[in-house]
Structure 1
Amino acid sequence: MTRYVSSCFITLVVLFLWRVEDIADACRCLPQHPQQAFCNAEIVIRAKVVGKKAVSNAIKYDIEQIKMFKGCDQVIHAIFTYTTSCSVTLEINKEYLFTGKLKTGRMSITLCGYNPPWEDLSAAQKNSLTHRYQSGCDCKIIHCTSLPCPISTSDTCLWTYLGTDNGQNLACIKRQDGSCAWYKGIGLPKK
């Protein structure tokens, strides 16, 4: 009986170690506010996906750029997502907001980025792309999952999931006194 138990134990260990590589490759992303994604990205564009092709260790999506919100002066014609557990799957003939990095002239995106379909963005989010997010890139957005969450500095906005839109429609912008506050789109943020 002990030989049977021992062989079962060894089999379980081998199976576990075999799966550790898959677990280690899992994509882990912390939730980020749309403004954080905007500020952390090198390039932010609105584009329509028009084609897809596998190239080397990546998927190349051909796009038609509609608008550049942040980035370089060049028009982006393709977006790459590398074939890892963090690769992004996009639909052909659909418009997206892409936040990504520029490496050797190629825009790349990952699952940890913020790349929602354009139609899923609210009017407030679309407005903030051109009018609010950039002005708040000097502010820090602290993600809080349970209260209380103390703010240690005045250049911080506390982001909680309280409320119906989870704060997705707010922008954290710098006020005249140098402090940061959430902006709802009506007047300037108050102290």
Structure 2
Amino acid sequence: MGRMDVSLFCVYLVICLFGISEACKCAVRHPQTIICQSDFAIKAKILFEEPIDSMYTRYRVEVLQNFKSGYAPPMRNSRVWIKTATSSAACGVRFQKKSTYVIAGYKDSDGTLRASSCSLNRNIHDMTPFQLSALDNMDYQNNCNCKIRECPHNVCEGGQGCLAPYNKSDCYHRTALCRSFGSTCSWTPNAC
């Protein structure tokens, strides 16, 4: 290879590697935002996993609780399939058999339930008591009219909603919700 060929190869390689490493990037979002923007949000026990092909896996789950609506599918005690990409580069997520998770995601046009690493897919043991209580008491769901504004680089521009500076976002994500008080919204509790 000549010098020009090596340079072009290096540029190509850098672009390819960057493309692979950047294939799945998720914006930082509060659990309340994820729940409100999702088509479904459930607490589910993973029964078994079935590879569909080299790209996708589906999980058979038992729905223990429906956080979006107790009366809309997927119904409590029903067994449904949740499809996800296999690769983390494609925003895939893996679940452990016999474990219980809070899973939020979207429905395809054909009704297929999908989960990705950009949605809320946490083992219940990894969630805080506050988060579990906010889900059980419908606090996240009942305050979807409140906008949570994540502030990258700790720069929060004024405006309505609850502001979450990046350096404190973990505190807000784990211990607070953005609650509506009449025409305004604010963090409750405001301990961050």
Under a length normalisation based on structure 1, what TM-score does the superposition of the two structures give? Answer: 0.82
The 1:161–1:102 alpha-carbon spacing in structure 2 relative to 1, beyond 3 Å, is: same
Contact 1:37 1:114 in 2 (8 A): yes
Matched pairs, number: 180
Q: Give unpaired runs (5+ residues) of structure 1.
A: 186-191
The 1:4–1:120 alpha-carbon spacing in structure 2 relative to 1, beyond 3 Å, is: same
Contact 1:88 1:109 in 2 (8 A): yes
SS in 2 for 1:66: strand
> For the residues of structure 2 that align with 1:78 and 1:9, how far apart are their CA atoms?
48
Alignment correspondent of 2:63? 65
The 1:121–1:4 alpha-carbon spacing in structure 2 relative to 1, beyond 3 Å, is: same
> For the residues of structure 1 that align with 2:186 and 2:125, how far apart are their CA atoms?
27
> For the residues of structure 2 that align with 1:180 and 1:38, how far apart are their CA atoms?
17
Q: Which has the larger radius of gyration?
A: 1
Alignment correspondent of 1:139? 146
The 1:10–1:182 alpha-carbon spacing in structure 2 relative to 1, beyond 3 Å, is: closer
> For the residues of structure 1 that align with 2:168 and 2:85, how far apart are their CA atoms?
35
**Deviation for aligned residue 1:93:** 1.3
Aligned equivalent of 2:82, options 75, 79, 84: 79
In the TM superposition, what whole-angstrom CA distance separates every residue of 1:59-87 from its partner, at most 9, and x where no partner exists? Answer: 11111111111142343521110345211
> For the residues of structure 1 that align with 2:30 and 2:62, how far apart are their CA atoms?
26
**Deviation for aligned residue 1:124:** 0.9
RMSD of aligned C-alpha atoms? 2.5
Q: Which moved more, 1:93-102 or 1:130-139?
A: 130-139
Under a length normalisation based on structure 2, what TM-score does the superposition of the two structures give? Answer: 0.82
Contact 1:160 1:167 in 2 (8 A): no
**Deviation for aligned residue 1:7:** 3.7
Contact 1:175 1:181 in 2 (8 A): yes
The 1:13–1:144 alpha-carbon spacing in structure 2 relative to 1, beyond 3 Å, is: closer
Q: Which moved more, 1:7-16 or 1:80-89?
A: 7-16
- Pair 1:32-2:29 in alignment: yes
Alignment correspondent of 1:189? none
Structure that is richer in helix per residue: 2
SS in 2 for 1:174: strand
**Deviation for aligned residue 1:48:** 1.0
- Pair 1:107-2:104 in alignment: no
> For the residues of structure 1 that align with 2:16 and 2:170, how far apart are their CA atoms?
41
Corresponding letter in the other structure for 1:108: R
Corresponding letter in the other structure for 2:114: S
